[in-house]
Amino acid sequence: MKPFVLAIALAVFTALGVGPAAASDDDDRLFVVVTSPDPQTQGMAMVLSIQARKQGAPVQVLLCGPGGDLALKGAPQTVLKPRGATPQGMLSTLIGMGVKPEVCALYLPNNGKSPADLIDGVGVAKPPAIAKAILDDDTRLFTF
């Protein structure tokens, strides 16, 4: 096959969602649970989630315990090198990429908070849905 024909075929397949770069319901989903209070650990969880999303993987993020603080409006932020980004800023990037992060169902009531205290785009997890996602054979679970 001539190189330009191959390039056209590749472009058509990519546009149609065929090939390794296209995500589908059969692809592995990355399920990331963040519980650490450490900004570097939170940041690395966000960096890897962003990279997985950029590579076409469906990503789900669950924030529990001190990890839930990432989702609070007005929470103190640590700027991380080398990019000068904060974990919450990276969480917002994920939201902009279509990811819908959630705090654990126990987080808000045990911290005297309500859904109004969360940054835009963050919801509250429903335990049956989380259990179903974690048990799915196509889920890769990572905890930070």
Q: Return the H-helix or E-strand segment holding 15.
A: helix 3-15
pLDDT in tens, 60-88: 999 999 999 999 999 999 999 999 999 99
Does residue 16 lie within any of the structural domains?
no
Number of domains in the chain: 1
Coil, helix or strand at residue 30:
strand
pLDDT in tens, 88-118: 999 999 999 999 999 999 999 999 999 999 9
Q: Return the H-helix or E-strand segment holding 97.
A: none
Does residue 4 lie within any of the structural domains?
no
**Rounded percentage of the chain residues whose pLDDT exceeds 90:** 81
Boundaries of domain holding 98 = 35-49+59-68+85-144
| More confident position, 18 or 117 | 117
| More confident position, 21 or 143 | 143
Does residue 107 lie within any of the structural domains?
yes
Does residue 80 lie within any of the structural domains?
no
DSSP secondary structure code for residue 9 in this structure:
H
* pLDDT confidence of residue 9: 40
Coil, helix or strand at residue 117:
helix
Q: How many CB atoms lie within 10 A of CB 100?
A: 12
Does residue 134 lie within any of the structural domains?
yes
Residue 124: CATH number of its domain: 3.40.1260
Any idea which residue has 């990429």 for tokens? 97
What's the pTM value of the predicted model, to 2 decimals? 0.81
Coil, helix or strand at residue 119:
coil
**pLDDT band at 27; cut points 50, 70, 90:** confident
Coil, helix or strand at residue 80:
strand
For the chain, the 3-state helix, strand and coil shares in percent, each to the nearest 5, are 40, 15, 40
